[in-house]
Amino acid sequence: MENVIQIHVEKLPEGLYLATSDAVPGLVAQGRTITETLEIARDVAKKILEAQAERDGKSKLPEAGDSFDYPLVVSN
């Protein structure tokens, strides 16, 4: 099962990127690029959700449906 999680990414003054999520408390990821930050956030979210599932059972997050919006970041 795949879930859709809203992630907030911001560029820090040091030039790094920080990702957090209101949907997954405790999710904090930092990277040198947006791609790296999102990869780390995905790994962190997976671990948090696995721990929650072991403790509470089924996830409360919405499942990924047949379609959803996804912002694509492209460098030029």
Phi and psi dihedrals of 75, rounded to 5? Answer: -95, 155
pTM of the model: 0.84
Q: For residues 21-36, give the mean pLDDT.
A: 95
* pLDDT tens profile 43-66: 999 999 889 888 887 767 778 878
Question: E strands, the chain, where?
Answer: 8-11, 17-20, 28-31
